[in-house]
Structures are given as C-alpha cells and as structure tokens.
Chains A and B, each alone.
Chain A
C-alpha cells in the first residue's frame, strides 16, 4: 500500500480524535444537564401533576406561565428573592473581605483560623436551619432569653414571624453559613497579590486607606465577582434553611421562589406550574450571572488582565 493512501486515513482519524476524546464529556452533559432541562421546560407547558403521571402529555401551551405572571404572590416571592440575594451577597462580601484582610495580617495560627473559618460551610443547610430556628425561637430561644436576662427586652421578640425580622433571620443564617466562601476566595486573592505595587504606593506616601482603596480592592474585585457569581447561583435557589426556619411564612413574609416552587410542585403536585416558576428563577440566575461576569471582565480589564 502506498503512502498516498495511508496519509488521508491518518488525517481523517486525527480529525476525529478531539471529538472522540470530548464525546464522553458531551454525552454526560447531554444526559445529565440538557435532557433534564429540556424535559422540565416541556413539562412547564403541560398540566403535569406529580401524582398523575398520565398528565405529562396534557399540553396546555403557555397557561402555566400566564397563571404565574398574573399571580401577585409569585411576583412578591420573585421580588423578595432579589432583595434576599442582594442583601445576602453584599453582606457576605463585606464580612468576607473584612475576615480575609484580618486573617491575612496574622502571622501565627493562620492555617488553624482558616480551617475554623470554614466550619459553617461544613454543616448541612438543614442543620443550620434548625440551629437558627432554635436560637430565634420567641419562647424558648437562646436569643430572647439572653435579651430578657440582660434586661435588654421585656417581651418575646417574634424573630421568625415579624415582617422585617423574619427576612433578617433567614438572611442572618444564610450569611453565617456562607460568608467563608467569600473570605476564602478573597484570601486567595490576597495571597496572590504582588507586593511591588503596595510597597511602591507606601514609598510614594499613600496612607493605608489609599493603598486599600486604589490597589488592594481593585486587585481583589475579580475574586469577589467570581465568589458573587458562585454564591448568587446558590442563594437564588435558597430553600433548605428557609424551609426549616419559616417555611416561607408566616403569610408569605419570607416566601422565596424556591419555597413557593417546592410547595406548588410537591405539596400541590402541580409540577408543570412549578417548572414554569423554576424557569423564571433560572432566568433570574442567568441575569445575575451575566451581570457579575460583565463586572468581572471590567474588573480584570481595569487591572490590565485578559478580557
């Protein structure tokens, strides 16, 4: 056989090699991500009731979407989810930044502190929910008893029921559990930070605030936006903590999209309608992710990094 015949065959097999090597990853993505996504998208256009599998083929067009878009309780939960996300992410960022800066200054026991700092992340969200449900319980909770014993309160504060306090408690629990995500990523940023610009700034007479504001913070922002992207996806689908602490109540005061989706999908068995809600929630997550990626690119550009 001549080399003229062998060459194109080798070339053809070389052409297929990347596709073949990538195919397991693509197959996994198709079956684990794409197919379930398309399936749930399809069900959002059906009257799919969880307890009646035959309703999976009951096509009702955009009725589920019409129903949720005209439901004021859905829009309240949607708005509350955005508020929850915004406050939780900003608090986690500020607290995480503070913790990272403090730990970065420590020269002895830093590794131990880093480990301790990650403890809250190691708990299951359900356990965290029960822990804070007990702490904030109006009657037997530690917090109210402490406040009463210290003479700071003479009544039982309804932490889990009161309108602003209910949201405060679930945000508090969420922030307690996940601030360390920000702290760890920002600490990694601080470790990676070159010393030269800091020393040059000090030589040029910058005070500590100016160094932080114009050098440290811009350098850390790409890390912060990566943390925000990850956490926004987490917080936007917050469910466990809220379900345990308040169940979205009372009177929907702490109802977020996913507590509502779970109730509609599982308790009411209206999985078609729940999936329509879930798709709106996904759009919200995509919007947040897009926003944070835009900010990430801008921050990297500002620092002279790749776009």
Chain B
C-alpha cells in the first residue's frame, strides 16, 4: 500500500512565503442578505478562528448560521445522518483528511471553485492529501503531527541524572527512541501523584498512535494487496510499549478512557513528565494562567522506533463545500477567508500548524520579534517533523471502520484480557472481512 508522506512540506515552509507574498488583502465578494449554513468542528483550540467570522459577515453582507459545533466524532455521525436522511441543506462543513474519503461525492471538487492563485498559497502536499479520487474535496485549515513535550526541570536535576544512569546505564537526556521514552516514563512515574507519561486510550486516537509506532518499528497496516499485516512482530512490539507502561503504573490507571483533552490537561496540570502531543497545546502549556508547567517545557521530535524511523502520524483539519449548496460562491468565499494567510496566523499564534507556507515563516518571525523563544522552538521542531516524518493513515473510506476493529483489541491486550498476538490476529481477521466486503481483495 502507499503511505502518503509529507516530505514536500519542508520546501513549502521554506519557499512559499516568496510565492504568495504573505498576507494579501482579498475581495471576498458581496452576498448581501444571504445566510450561509455551516457545520463546524468545536473545541477550545478551534474557537479563536470562529471569532473572525464576524469580519467575513461584515465584508460580504452575508450572515453565517452555525448549525453545529461539535467534536469531529460527533460531527461525523451527524453528517452521516444528513447523508442518509437527504438533509444536506447546509453549505460548508468541517472535515478531516482521515474522514473525508468515506463521504463519497457529497462535497464538491474545489478545483475551479477556489481560484488557482488562492490554491497556490497552500503547501502542495497538504492539497494532495486533501484530494480524494482526483477531487480536491477539502481546503486544509491546519495540520497535525505529534512531538514530545517534557518537563525540563526533571532533566536538569542532578539526583535524577545520577539515579537514572545507575538504573538504566545511559545518561538522562530527552528520549531519542521509543525504548528510551518507555524507560524514562517508568523512571519518573510515582503513581498516583505523578506519572511518566500518558496516551490517548480509545477510539481512532489510540489506533493512530499504534499505527505510527508500528511504522516506526518497521511494520505496516496493510500489504500492497490490502491484506492486513499489522499482526506482525513489529505490531506486537508496538502494543508491548503501551502495555509495559500500563503494567508499570507509569501512566494513569484510567488512561484507556482518555482522549486528547485528558492528555493535554494532564500535562498542563504538572503531574506528567513526558507528553507526546500536537502543537495546538503549545501556547496553552506555556501560559502560567492555565498551566503548572509554563516556563518549564522542553520539546523534542517524536522518537524513533526499532526500524530507525520516527513516528509521524499526521493529517489536516479542513473545510468542505456540499454538492447541495445553494450558493457555492459564498461558500467558496467563506472557506477562502477562514484559510487565508491572516486567519491561519490567528491559529498559528496558538500553536496550530498552518497549511500555507507563508504563515510558517511569518509566525516564526513574529515570535522571534516578540522574544518568544519557546514558540519559535515549537514551530521549528514541528516544521522539521512535518517535513521529514509525517505520513497519513491510509486515505480510504474504510479507515474509521478498520480503526474501530483495532482499538478495542488494543485495549484488550493492554489490559491483559488476551495476548498481544491474539488481539492483533483477531483485529486482522475482522479487518480482512471489512476489506473483502469493500471489494479490495
């Protein structure tokens, strides 16, 4: 199978500022009296962008009616109900590169709808990953990849350094490999008051983490004929990492019920040593009003697996326009506005990774001017990982369904209800049926 990489993003980061010329005032048209109906992803980190919607309304004379503002899993259910009930009576919806392939033709091809010069401002690979069956069904808003945040003071403590070296036989420095990550998480853990790390433990979240570790360990989800191959030695090795930490109480006992907010807030609470997470939390982590670890955060790229590859599960949050939209021009204007240079800067200032190359350079320059070294380090680290490590899950309609067969078995293996091999074999059998039903083999 083909895993789409995002290596071209580095080039985009470096060059596209020159190509687009940074922020350019744009005419978003006039849609006086029109009401644009939209369904958007909700959540603390997504909201600052929505505060800008009033400006679009002012510029165009249109009104935006936000019908939904839910997390993506709930939004996905709602969109599927709309498809089934034939009630796609709205124009713009939040989308994601991992979810988009399953929606078929409900979203229009944006090639020809969004002006070419506007599209030229986006990173080439972000647009490629937004393309399904040759159709650009979504406009990328921001991208997502995880790197490793850690509490710096723990690594500067001489007692910690001596004790760690005595126990593990190598110097205590931020982890370079997943094995070191495990060692150090176990070393720092002191349950129930302090934990070495934590991981998202359910839904597509843990499938994704398993997937990136599998790739880093030299494994793959499928072979070239779409036969599941994740029940390999690399698969077992990957699940073992989660299980070892769980068995050693190096992660909170309830971790298998955790999702992104739990892990982010956990690190901000100061009770966790290491946290593999996306950049969207960066400014929150370093804000003394919200975080106990503000001013004490180090960041390194995600570790490498046994195959010498770094983990780099990635994707983009996006916007799409429905094929039933009654005013495609207004919808196109709206998504262009939300993904404009100016608005990507709004999100980038919070740590969200832009999909326009020009924004990467502009936001780093802005942080440098402010003397915000931490955010400069964040963007430089994430730029490197987006360029060299990023890969998406298979962009196929069956991804979420396959994920739903994998994650309960991962939980079963971590909890010791079955062996890791049994769990992966069972998930592979269930996956094979899904792929056969879908006509892959």
Contacts and interface: CB of A to CB of B under 8 A. Distances in A.
A151 B102 CA distance: 51
Contact of B417 (A50, A138, A251, A266): A251
A246 B76 CA distance: 19
A15 interface: no
Contact of B104 (A52, A138, A159, A160): A52
A174 to B, nearest CB: 18
Interface in A224-276: 246-247, 249-252, 263, 266-271
A85 to B, nearest CB: 22
A137 B258 CA distance: 10
A246 B257 contact: yes
In this complex, the member of A52, A158, A251, A252 whose beta carbon has the largest number of chain B beta carbons within 10 angstroms is A251
Contacts of B400: 267-268
Interface residues of B, number: 36
A139 B201 contact: no
A130 to B, nearest CB: 12
Nearest to A268: B401
Given A155-B191, A251-B415, A267-B401, A161 B254 contact: yes
Interface in B400-415: 400-401, 404, 408-409, 411-412, 414-415
A140 interface: yes
B170 to A, nearest CB: 30
A53 B408 contact: no
B76 A137 contact: no
A128 interface: no
A136 B86 CA distance: 40
Contacts of B397: 51
B81 interface: yes
A210 B102 CA distance: 65
A225 B400 CA distance: 43
Given A139-B271, A148-B192, A155-B192, A50 B83 contact: yes
A53 B414 CA distance: 38
Given A156-B253, A158-B253, A249-B256, A50 B81 contact: yes
B254 A138 contact: yes
A271 B84 contact: yes
Interface in B126-170: none
Interface in B187-204: 191-192, 201-203
Nearest to B410: A251
Contacts of A271: 84
A140 B193 CA distance: 10
A250 B102 contact: no
Most buried by A among B86, B202, B271: B202
A296 interface: no
A81 interface: no
Interface of B: 73, 76-77, 80-81, 83-84, 86, 102-104, 191-192, 201-203, 252-257, 266, 269, 271, 397, 400-401, 404, 408-409, 411-412, 414-415, 417
Given A139-B253, A250-B411, 17 more contacts: A50-B84, A155-B253, A156-B192, A159-B254, A161-B254, A161-B255, A161-B256, A249-B256, A250-B201, A250-B256, A250-B408, A251-B409, A251-B412, A252-B412, A263-B404, A266-B80, A271-B84
15 contacts: A50-B81, A51-B84, A139-B192, A155-B192, A156-B252, A160-B254, A161-B255, A246-B257, A247-B202, A250-B202, A250-B414, A251-B417, A267-B77, A267-B401, A271-B84
